[in-house]
Amino acid sequence: MAPSKKGSAKKVAKKASTLAYRPAVITFVDILGFTERVMRSKTPDETRTILRRLSRFAAQPDEAEPDTAAVVFSDSIVRVRFIDGPYRMGALFHEVLKLLQVQGEMLADDVLLRGGLTVGAIHVDGQMAFGPGFIRAYQLESQFANYPRVVIGPEVFTALRADRRLWARHHDLEDEVHYQRKMLQRGDDGFWFIDYLHGFQDEMDAPELHPGLVAQHRAHIIKSANAASMDSRILQKYLWLAQYLNDVVRRLNLPELAITQTDIPALEELADTPAWAVPYTGPTIGGHDFSDDEP
């Protein structure tokens, strides 16, 4: 005898009621300029290699905290570290550190990442993820990151001060803030972001190779900025990157790697005497030297 529709409905309702959101550290990250990269590629080989590298670095389970998950779709990854389990290894610290490492590793392929990190509620079931925390992480990536950076939502620091589940078991709040601060920088817009180019030096097996990586990043920024049109949002992103790199090389005491207006003409510095305000010393017109004329 087949079960009644009423009985089936009760079973479905009972099963649905067991689902619940879980609190977690959530990151939404994707590859900047992925569409353009795919459109100019002649074969799928390069794109596949990049996606495999990103997946290997960003989507593998983290041994530091077993209660993690990752959902991959195209060039985007949602990373989740649940904080309601028995493990208290420092979910926020390990997520920020992992993202710093991922950004640094992808520099070898001149791949830039943009993302948003939050603390919120999410449900993950295999390769499906949804919830308020997922939406917030996506909003941070798509509406607030703007540049090739991973921004931290302001709500994260409120949660860090209030929720001990975000801390490592052996840390107090002062320890957590100290270790977070070492990996972050604050942008001109007030958002904190992961300071990948500076911090990756401490994560390299051979830190003496770090200046070479910075030099490669510098060359990529210069080439891409000069290839972008003056009215392009792409140029805006690379000008931001140039300013960020210059801040990093200042802190690393590597002035020879700074990017100047000579490298990128659009990086005009409005100094007291900018280039365009220097008295004209070029050839005259029709033999007349205009520099001596009265205004």
Give residue 66's pLDDT: 73
Give the pLDDT band (50/70/90) at residue 87. Answer: confident
Per residue in 195-239, pLDDT (tens digit) is 999 999 999 999 999 999 999 999 999 999 999 988 788 999 999
Residue 29: strand, helix, or coil: strand
**221 and 186 within one domain:** no
Greater model confidence, 113 or 89: 113
Helix (H, G, I), strand (E, B) or coil at 151: strand
Q: Residues of the chain with pLDDT > 90: what percent? A: 63
Looking at the domain assignment, is residue 275 inside a domain? no
Q: How many CB atoms lie within 10 A of CB 58?
A: 23
Same domain? 197 vs 119 = yes
The SS3 of residue 283 is coil
pLDDT band at 36 (very low <50, low <70, confident <90, very high): confident
Contacts of 3 (CB under 8 A, 6+ apart): none
In a domain, 60, yes or no: yes
pLDDT tens readout for residues 167-179: 999 999 999 999 9
Q: Is the pLDDT of residue 252 over 90?
A: yes
Kindly state whether residues 49 and 118 are assigned to the same domain.
yes
Q: What is the mean pLDDT of residues 94-104?
A: 94
Secondary element (H or E) of residue 198: helix 196-199
Whether residue 136 lies inside any domain: the answer is yes
pLDDT of residue 226: 95
The CATH number covering residue 167 comes to 3.30.70.1230
CA distance 188 to 236: 14
Query: Which bin fits 90, alpha (ψ -120 to 50), beta or left (φ > 0)?
Result: left
Which residues, other chains included, contact 22 with Cβ-Cβ below 8 Å and sequence gap of 6+? 82, 84, 121, 122, 123
Same domain membership, residue 216 and residue 115: no
Q: Tell me the two tokens of residue 23.
A: 């609190």
Range of lowest pLDDT (32-46, 54-68, 88-102, 211-225)? 54-68
Domain count, the chain: 2
Amino acid 130: pLDDT: 96
Residues 236 and 192 placed together within one structural domain of the fold: no
Query: Do 197 and 224 belong together in one domain?
Result: no
Work out whether strand 113-125 and strand 150-152 pair parallel, antiparallel, or are unpaired.
parallel
Please check whether residues 148 and 247 belong to one and the same domain: no
Tell whether 81 and 161 lie within a shared domain: yes
Q: Domain residues for 254?
A: 207-270
Query: Reduced to 3 states, what is the DSSP secondary structure of residue 184?
Result: strand
- Asked whether residue 74 is assigned to any structural domain, the reply reads yes
Q: Which of 202, 234, 261 is the last residue of a domain?
A: 202
42 plus 109 within the same structural domain: yes
Give the per-residue pLDDT at 292: 46
Residue 64 has a CB neighbour count (10 Å cut-off) of 17
Can you tell me which residue has the tokens 């000579």? 262
Three-class DSSP category at 123: strand
The answer as to whether 256 is a domain residue is yes
- What distances in angstroms separate CA 60 from CA 45, 63, 80, one per listed residue? 22, 9, 11
Residues 29-39 have a mean pLDDT of 83
Handedness of CA 78, 83, 86, 88 (dihedral sign): positive
Q: Which residue has the tokens 């959101």?
A: 21
* CA–CA separation, 24 and 60 (whole Å): 17
* Last residue of one domain, picked from the residues 202, 226, 247: 202
| Domain-terminating residue out of 171, 202, 233 | 202
Q: Which pairs with CB-CB distance under 8 Å and at least 24 residues apart come from 155-162?
A: 155/118, 155/119, 155/120, 156/25, 156/92, 156/117, 156/118, 156/119, 157/192, 159/119, 160/92, 160/119
Does residue 197 contact residue 220 with C-beta atoms inside 8 Å? no
Lowest mean pLDDT among 29-33, 47-51, 206-210, 244-248: 47-51
Angle between helices 45-58 and 91-106 (to 10 degrees): 160
Structural domain includes residue 8: no
Do 108 and 229 belong together in one domain? no
Same domain (yes/no): 234, 185: no
Q: Is residue 84 part of a domain?
A: yes
SS3 132: helix
In a domain, 77, yes or no: yes
Region 105-132: mean pLDDT is 94
- The mean per-residue pLDDT over the stretch 113-117 comes to 97
Average pLDDT score over residue span 236-248: 96
Q: Judge whether 98 and 25 are in contact, CB under 8 Å.
A: no
The verdict on 163 and 30 lying in the same domain is: yes
pLDDT: which is higher, 233 or 242? 242
